[in-house]
Structure 1
Amino acid sequence: MPKKLFLFLFFPYIIFSQTLTGKVLDQSTLKPLESANIIAKPLQQKASLKFAIADNLGRYKLELENGIEYEVSVSYISYKEEIFVIQPNSTITNHDFKLVPTGETLKEVIIKHEYKPIDIKKDTLTYDIKAFANGNERKMKEVLEKLPGVEVDKKGNVTVQGKKVTKMLVEGKSFFGGGSKLAVENIPANALDKIEVIDHFNEVGFMKQVSDSEDLAMNVKLKSDKKKFVFGDLEAAAEVANTTGYHLAHAALFYYTPKNNISFIGDINNVGRSTFTFEDLLRFDGGISSFISGRKSLTNLFSFTNDNTDVVQNKSQFGALNYSFTAHKKITISGYSIFSKILLNAFQESNNQYLQSSFSSFENKTLNNSSKSILGITNIKFDFNFSKTSRVFYNIQFQASNNNTDNLLKSVTNTLNTNFQTLSKADNISFKDYFEWHKSYNDNHNTTFVINHAYQKTKPQNHWFTDQPFLSGVIPIVSDAFYVINQTKEIQNHSVDILGKHYWIVNNKNHIYSVFGNNFENTLFSTQEQQVLSTNLVNNFDGFGNRLHYQLNDFYVGLEYKFKLGKWINKPAIYFHKYHLITQQINNNTITKNFWQPQFTSEYEFNKSEKIQFDYKLINSFAEASAYAENYTLQSYNLVYKGNAMLQNEQYHNASLYYNKMNMFRGILMNAYLYFNKKEQTLRNQVVLSGINQINTPVVTNNPETSWRLLTDVSKKIYRFTCKLKTSLSWYNYIQTTNNANFSTNRNNQSIGASVKTAHKKWPDFMLGYTKNFTQLSGLSTSRFSSNEFRAETEITFFKNLIFKVNYVSLSNFENSKSINFFQVTDCSLRYQKKNNPFTFELSVNNVFDTKQKNNYSFSDYIISQQTTYILPRIVLLSLSYKL
């Protein structure tokens, strides 16, 4: 029956279609014209336009409908356009275009057919939306998913030809810090005119030639009627199946003019929907110049991000305001403000096995977690565009967050049954600003100067309440009827980074860059743990409590030489670093070290659609302040951490190889990444295990540590389907010290996934995918895990206005080839949307089968854990949306 249904649905398309192939060549030299645009315009109504792009050999392929007369035109810069008419039911299957040069390479070339579904010019790829959208799309995400070579994952991340979009722009201006999720899930589809994809993006035009930027930007061009008034949509949804009170309200409002724009996104829901991802939040959390790398945030913002239905309750409130206006013809002010409030309740059960040299300890643990997280961020950026040769940026950001949690934990071992309640509160504030100056003196000399400053203060407070003593022999607890442990931490961090770089363009094939800089970090780190007795006396723990003053200065100078040999671009570089570290606590310590750190980048471009790139760095790094705190710090009910005041630096080799190929003629897109990391001096925690209790201490050793990772992503268009194969292979070898014994440890993972998806504008959207994962661990013990993941997605349009969607996922986990758990989750929706009507009605069902829990497994060097997480129940929502 399925085969008959398949033939019934797709047989008409198989019979009534033909393929036209050929080449696009220079008439005089017969040289192939790569990336030429071939457009087949139907000369009858109700037939769709077809297009293709010539590959590096000039080949093209057009899939045409039988019975339709087409006018096929080819255009290429500085060549005269050529037109070929193919008659209905023609038997012609091959035609070569031989274009004649105009001889006017310095003048504008006027092409009759200006409409190009896809246009490629140097580093910019432009999609014309009307060639791909059918009018039933609601959001930008649904449009992007129909563009060839473009993918959008469930977290809102966008990739184009396998490369991730790192900057999101609307009309050339950053949209909410440049993150993609807020754009793709909120910008209305009917506002889009064109999508520009810009490789090696740099917002300072005269710096693009020398910046070596790896940023891939996506610029949204709005329709002309959307640039001068308010547009967007409003959505409200309420539960209709029962009375548990699930609801959703969402607003996305935009106002754009050529000089000014303002955007507002608001969301309130309790169905586990997050408005932005952790990666988007890192942009908001940033406030750091893109020229400065390596700075870590001390605030934990993960709870504010990602869709989270792996809870029993999720209440979210979110508001975001983005703006940009021209204060003066040479001054632009832009910025954003973010507010988020999230209330979560989660319940999880775990079976943990703690691995030790001669035996294992087992623990059954249940965790009931309630949390409240509030975040506020304000960012303002000033752009001073004084002239075509000078650009200045000043950015200032303020952030505040508050996190409160209440954990009820029950731990059962073969010797102890303990109940814990943990109350935690963390107040965080940060202030960051940076100054950037870019200057072009002439065609051969450019300069960049950057000052980056950041201040962060966080003050976590933890309170443990329990009916049993815990961590016996590790913390000096006094016997009492009930146990109350208080902990206070405070971290204050100042950092100032200075960078200067001069770019000397000797000629088109030789560049010399000189660099100097200084990174300074000053941290005050303090902890205090004490037991409050039932008599109100205080027991301060001996050996606990830290007060550390940490200062690290890194002065460096460097020289980079970039040269080109034909299609081969190389950039060797050498940096000299002088590190000076001071730690002041019970015992003061000073470390001064000098290092030469080489770097090398090599790129070979076979043609415009195929290249390979190699990168290498030798890196030295010092641990953060907490790793040097020489007294004990209580981390959790079964973990104590003790820093090491004598820590030295880590040193490691980092290399990567990247290959990319896109062949439009054969419908192939291929990406491959190979990463290699080898540590000569390794920072790793030594672990002392006693039952389930752990003491971790960081040490730097000369034990080698090696990791490899291979990622491949290949897609092939076969007739009207896109077939994909993804692999992820990793090998990780290191020495783990547990209970004073060294164990050579291997952690390997293999993931192989395949999917097939319809790729035809008139067919229903359907995707079927399967992923197989294997994981092996050998060290203290040997373990093998595997999993099977099935995914299916479909979108079918009925009667032009009804759209039905289904998303299905199932996961099976296995340990040593024996099944240990299985779960499946299905979401579906039915949407009624009439073209040119502002109202949309939708009935959605999340967790159709009312799955109660998800099962998973994880492991570390000495713990193997099987987890059961309880999730949100079936939710049936009826929603109404209105487009402005």
Structure 2
Amino acid sequence: MLMIKVALFFLLPIICFSQVKTLRGTISSETDVFLESANVIARPLQDKAGVRFAITDNKGRYLLELDKNIDYEIVASYIGFKDELLVLKSNSDMTTYNFKLQSSGEKLKEIVIKHEYKAIEIKKDTITFNVKSFANGNERKMKEILEKLPGVEVDKNGTVTVQGKKVTQMLVEGKAFFGGGSKLAVENIPADALEKIEVIDNFNEVGFMKKVSDSEDLAMNVKLKEEKKKFVFGDLEGGLGVGVDKSNLLHSGLFYYAPKLNISFIGDVNNIGKSTFTYSDLRRFTGGTSNYIIKKKTSNDLLYELTKDNVDVVENKSQFEALNISYNFSAKFNVSVYSIFSKVLTETKNIIQNEYLENNDQTFENKIEINNDRNTLNITNLKLDYMPDKNQKWLYNGQFQLGVNNLNGVLNSSTITNSNVFKTISNTDNKSFKQYLEWHKNYSMSHIQTFAIHQFYEDIKPQNQWLTDKPFLMGVLPLEKDMMYNIEQLKQLKRNTIDAVFKHYWIINNHNHLYLNIGNTFETSNFETSEKQLLSDNTINDFINAGFGNKTRYQFADVYGGLECKFKIRKWANKVGLYYHWYNSKTEQLSGNYNFSRKIVLPQWNSEFEFNQSEKITFNYKLETNFSEVPSLSDGFTLQKYNLVYKGNASLENGKFHSFNVFYNKMNLYKGLWLNVFSNYTKRTSIIRNEVIVNGINQYNSPFLGNDPETSILLNGSVAKKIYRFELKLNANLNWLSYYQKLNNVVTLNERNAQNLGLTFRTVYKEWPNFNLRYEKGFSHFSGLTISNYKSDAINGNFDITFFKFWSYKLEYQNLKNINSNNQSNFYEITNTSLRYQKKNSPFGFELICNNLFNIQQKNSYSFSDYVISQQSAYILPRVLMFSMGYKI
């Protein structure tokens, strides 16, 4: 409440004393047809004011907010029509004016825009933002520009969404930026290099495929200023701790863009917790994967250790280098290659209180974990783009990944009856190579063909070791008595997958299409595990005689064919599909062989209704299957954690589920309104779940295929309204899940639901200080063996202001309060601030940074699962005070 009062104190004078007047009206043709997405530009005839703009809605209405005491020259424009000019004097009482544009009588293939710029241009699948209309010149990185664009949001992980839809391809001058991931772009491209931002829905890099391929990709293309082309631009930054030992920062972002050659380099070394690239960013790098291949839905991921993030750390040292080169050998042939290297060293400390739920009993555990983690990653990607003629295109992409994870930790687990201290060592090597080849051919106006083949190979080798002076998992592990219990585990998974698909597109007419799909997936996997006790007398106690260890060979094939019919009725577009799948799998392991074969028909339906260029609703339905990976099919025991043993199930078949989702979005610049709503309903009829046995803190899990239904509902949405120079946004996220859990041979109906409601208030006027305040209320509920409820209150705010021309101050604040079922609460707050000095025409900038201003030691939270209720305290980086100097090229 204090922050809200302070914010209102500063903003109230602005609201009360700002001088503004409005001009509204319509834009129509000479035949009285209202023109949607027409541009209205108001240029001031004095130097002391800025340009104002508006865009008409689907009823041709516009609304301009103008400064009083300023004369304006107002121009209305629309493609295919002559511009109309209105001069509005400051002493005029005019509040309404209707433009009526005359047809130019010209039908051109290319339109030349005569105006200096248009703030926003809206076409069928493309929205173009002119950066000059939203930036005030104090922004440093692309992220700060995007946050000022209407309907655009950037989260703390660098993920960009536009009107609620995630950007999946990031382009610079039409070419993928480091494989298309958004984080490296938004955090490194200088703001002063941007000319325009294009948002392209249903993006397809093969131009003639867009009329038949219903791509779900949303691309963002960055257009650079002309003066930034053919010259190296970017920035260099270095910083040292002030009063804090060993704090350091070195960062560089250098870019060169020319018609034929594009080069980007990003480098970063720091120990202040600045995350340049994490393993979760791997999921954003789609190199080596074809969008035309149907992926097999799986339910296991052995790569968890290589994809988890260590966000809350006591110590963090990171090193990152990334190089992207693209070269056009000719108008027909382009080569693009990027390479990324990342090394992160972290130390984490967590204090956890667990309550394990059995059917009629509970066990409490206090746990302290201290881990030192060393992660190294290299990604190298090569892409070839060859277009021999306008009706044919070849694409090749190959990507190699090498990851190494080394972890050393100490775990102290104590209950009322027992306590153990474990030293844990984990080393995981991961090598993978994936590649695809695509061929697209446009035979005529009616027939297009695509052939794609994709290959993926990976080799994962985790090696784990647990050392303790007391026995553990008694009755499960066949331990021999020793002074020190040293358990060694070796795992290896080798997998090779080949996918191929042929598609033929028949365009019957403008309103009816017919698509034929034929494909095949073939996978071979080898999975081996072994657990051994290394005794003090140098002998080995192998656990294989107690049912531990796996040696599994797995083969899977999916032969499928499908027919899709696409038809359009006025503004209503539909695509109905029916796929026939023939699944075959074979599992060979120590306990015997198991073969599985099934034929399934899977329907799907996609529907879209476009009310106008700024409003549409889409509906999707699919009947889908999912399959377990080879670790879940291997029926030997596997030690997962100090208190968890897992046993696979060779007889697992496929799960099956119905998925429905609806997405609605609307943008009305006349009313200053942005609305998007997404809902998803999933009904699982065949479910792969784990049967769980809990004894104290010890757990035993094994998967099984059940027929008890599982239902999940997701609803999230947001509505934003511009009110004068401010924006008020309300967002909601609702989740509900109902499922059956088998625990200690008793089946229980579990229900989970979570609701998050948020309210955001921010300034949207480029000549004012940027202010953003967000309050979020969260509720979580679980009912099953017990009933648990959690509530949370979160406040996030940021503020930046430029004063005395060359000084800029920034403040970021967040706090979170959690309350559990017993009305116990915990609280933490984080404050980061900085003061920067840089003259407008000077390449040098100086900055004083303070992270974790109040030196908060830990972050607290609550969580729950099917049978565990937890309270966690994660220790975080102490206060960092740093002085840095930057140089802009």
Q: TM-score, normalising length from structure 2?
A: 0.97
Q: Deviations over 1:66-88 (max 9, x none)?
A: 11111111111111211111111
Is 1:136–1:833's contact at 8 Å kept on the other side of the alignment? no
Q: Distance in 2 between matches of 1:819 and 1:662?
A: 43
Deviation at 1:198? 1.2
Matches of 1:529 and 1:302, distance apart in 2:
19
Q: Deviations over 1:480-512 (max 9, x none)?
A: 111011100010000000011111111110010
Task: Specify the code of the residue in structure 1 equivalent to 2:780.
Answer: T
Determine the structure 2 residue equivalent to 1:20: 23
SS of equivalent residue, structure 2 residue 443: strand
Post-superposition CA distance 1:190-225 (Å, at most 9, x none) = 211111111111111000111111211111111112
Secondary structure of the residue aligned to 1:282 is helix
Asked if structure 2 preserves the Cα contact closer than 8 Å seen for 1:73 and 1:82, the reply is yes
CA distance in 1: counterparts of 2:302 and 2:802, whole angstroms: 45
For residue 90 of structure 2, what is the aligned residue in structure 1? 88
CA distance in 2, matches of 1:744, 1:128: 54
Structure 1 residues 108, 421: CA separation in 2 closer, same or farther (over 3 Å shift)? closer
Matches within 5 A, 1:425-440: 425-440=427-442
Instruction: Identify if the C-alpha distance between structure 1 residues 635 and 67 changes in structure 2 by more than 3 Å, giving closer, same or farther.
Output: same
How far apart are 1:820 and its partner, in Å? 2.3
Matched, 1:483 2:485: yes
Letter in 2 for 1:550: Y
Alpha-carbon separation, structure 2, partners of 1:782 and 1:446: 57
Q: CA deviation at 1:262?
A: 1.0
Worse-matched range after superposition: 816-825 or 384-393: 816-825
What is the CA–CA distance in structure 2 between the aligned matches of 1:682 and 1:160, rounded to whole Å?
A: 34
User: Residue 573 of structure 1 corresponds to which residue in structure 2?
Assistant: 577
Give the secondary structure class of the aligned counterpart of 1:212. Answer: coil
**Residue 333 of structure 1: which of 321, 332, 335 is its match?**
335
Whole-Å Cα distance in 2 between the matches of residues 266 and 112 of structure 1?
40
**2:793 pairs with 1:788:** yes
Structure 1 residues 420 and 395, CA, compared in 2 at 3 Å: closer, same or farther? same
The Cα of 1:475 is off from its aligned counterpart by: 1.2
Secondary structure at 1:478 match in 2: coil
Deviation (angstroms), 1:112: 4.2
**1:610 lines up with 2:615 in the alignment:** yes
Match of 2:693 in 1: 688
Task: Please report how far the alpha carbon of residue 329 of structure 1 lies from its aligned counterpart in structure 2 after TM superposition.
Answer: 3.8
Partner Cα separation in structure 1 for residue 331 and residue 104 of structure 2:
39
Whether contact under 8 Å (1:543, 1:632) holds in the other structure is yes
Contact 1:785 1:817 in 2 (8 A): no
Deviation at 1:130, TM superposition (A): 1.8
Work out whether residues 260 and 329 of structure 2, in 8 Å CA contact, stay in contact via their aligned partners in 1: no
- For residue 417 of structure 2, give the secondary structure of its aligned residue in structure 1: coil
Q: Find the counterpart in structure 1 of residue 246 from structure 2.
A: 245
Call closer, same or farther: CA 1:872–1:111 in 2, change over 3 Å. Answer: closer
Q: 1:288 to 1:298 in 2, by over 3 A?
A: farther
What are the residue-to-residue correspondences of 1:274-289 with 2, within 5 Å?
Answer: 274-276=275-277, 278=279, 280-284=281-285, 286-289=287-290
Compared CA separation, residues 792 and 650, structure 1 to 2 (3 A): same
SS of alignment partner, residue 613 of structure 1: strand
Superposed CA offset, 1:704-731 (max 9, x none): 0000010011101111110011101111
2-side partners of 1:200 and 1:600: how far apart?
17
Counterpart Cα distance in 1 of 2:778 and 2:88: 50
> In 2, distance between residues paired with 1:755 and 1:303?
35
Q: What is the letter of the counterpart of residue 806 of structure 1?
A: L
Q: Output aligned runs, 1:627-706, within 5 Å.
A: 627-706=632-711
- Residues 37 and 136 of structure 1: CA distance in aligned 2, closer, same or farther (over 3 Å): same
Which residue of structure 1 aligns with residue 413 of structure 2? 411
1:528-543 equivalence runs, <5 A: 528-541=530-543, 542-543=546-547
Q: Which residue matches 2:44?
A: 42
Helix, strand or coil for the counterpart of 1:855?
A: strand
Match in the other structure for 1:836: 841
Distance 2:404 2:113 in 1: 59
Alignment equivalent of 1:546, drawn from 550, 571, 575: 550
Q: How is 1:191-340 mapped onto 2 (pairs within 5 angstroms)?
A: 191-242=193-244, 244-276=245-277, 278=279, 280-284=281-285, 286-294=287-295, 300=303, 310-340=312-342
Residue 4 to residue 785, structure 1, CA distance change in 2 (3 Å): closer
Q: What is the distance in 1 between the residues matched to 2:358 and 2:158?
A: 42
Secondary structure of the 2:765 match is coil
Q: Distance in 1 between matches of 2:516 and 2:839?
A: 60
Q: 1:601 to 1:108 in 2, by over 3 A?
A: closer
Deviation of the 1:5 alpha carbon: 4.6
Query: 1:827 pairs with 829, 832, 835, which one?
Result: 832
Distance in 2 separating the partners of 1:593 and 1:4: 68
Report the aligned-residue RMSD: 1.6
What SS class does the counterpart of residue 359 from structure 2 fall into? Answer: coil
Residue 209 of structure 2 aligns to a residue whose secondary structure is helix
In the TM superposition, 1:372-387 aligns within 5 A as 372-387=374-389
CA 1:301–1:584: 2 relative to 1, 3 Å:
closer
Measured in 2, the distance between the counterparts of 1:205 and 1:117 equals 26
Q: How far 1:107 moved relative to its partner?
A: 6.2
Partner residue of 1:711?
716
- Check conservation: 1:492, 1:525, Cα contact below 8 A: yes
Q: Note the C-alpha offset of 1:304.
A: 7.2
Aligned to 1:813: 818
Mapped to 2, the partners of 1:799 and 1:505 lie a distance apart of 63
Report the CA distance shift for 1:377/1:493 in structure 2 as closer, same or farther (over 3 A). same
- The equivalences for 1:341-356 within 5 A come to 341-356=343-358
Q: Does structure 2 conserve the Cα–Cα contact (< 8 Å) formed by 1:155 and 1:277?
A: no
Amino acid at match of 2:259: P
- For residues 465 and 837 of structure 1, what CA distance do their matches in structure 2 show? 58
**CA distance, structure 1, for counterparts of residue 441 and residue 475 of structure 2:** 63
Instruction: Please report how far the alpha carbon of residue 816 of structure 1 lies from its aligned counterpart in structure 2 after TM superposition.
Output: 2.2
**CA 1:112–1:377 in 2, change beyond 3 Å: closer, same or farther?**
closer
Matched, 1:135 2:140: no
Tell me by how many angstroms 1:111 deviates.
5.5
- d(CA) in 2 for partners of 1:700 and 1:452? 30
Count of residues in correspondence between the two structures: 879
Moved more, 482-491 or 321-330: 321-330
Letter in 2 for 1:561: C
1:549 CA displacement: 0.5
> 8 Å contact 1:726–1:752 — kept in the other structure?
yes
Amino acid at match of 2:610: E
* 1:879 partnered with 2:884: yes
Alignment correspondent of 1:621:
626
Aligned to 1:63: 65
Q: 1:110 to 1:475 in 2, by over 3 A?
A: closer
User: What corresponds to 1:450 in structure 2?
Assistant: 452
SS in structure 1 opposite 2:227?
Answer: helix
Output the amino acid matched with 1:276: F
CA–CA distance in structure 2, aligned partners of residues 623 and 408 of structure 1: 32
TM alignment of 1:111-126, pairs within 5 A: 112-126=114-128
Shift of 1:108: 5.4
Mapped partners of 1:840, 1:654: distance in 2: 52
Q: Which residue pairs with 2:588 in the alignment?
A: 584
Once the two structures are TM-superposed, the CA of residue 301 in structure 1 deviates from its matched residue by: 7.2
Distance 1:345 1:303 in 2: 16
From 748, 751, 762, give the equivalent of 1:746. Answer: 751
- When residues 609 and 376 of structure 1 are mapped into structure 2, their CA distance, relative to the original with a 3 A threshold, is same
- The 2-side partners of 1:719 and 1:741 are apart by 59
Residue 210 of structure 1 aligns to a residue in which SS? coil
Contact 1:75 1:111 in 2 (8 A): no
Q: How far 1:348 sits from its partner (Å)?
A: 0.4
Distance of 1:659 and 1:131 partners within structure 2: 27
Amino acid at match of 2:263: I
Is this contact kept in 2: 1:156–1:277, CA < 8 A? no
Query: How far is 1:276 from its partner?
Result: 3.0
Describe the SS at the equivalent of 1:726.
strand
**Paired AA for residue 202 in structure 1:** N
TM-score by length of 1: 0.97
Looking at structure 1, the residues matched to 738 and 608 of structure 2 have their Cα atoms a distance apart, in angstroms, of 29
Q: In the TM superposition, what is the alpha-carbon distance from 1:822 to its structure 2 partner?
A: 0.6
Contact 2:583 2:599 in 1 (8 A): yes
Structure 2 residue corresponding to 1:492, chosen from 479, 491, 494: 494
| Alignment partner of 1:562 is 2:562 | no
8 Å Cα contact 1:181/1:277 also seen in 2: no
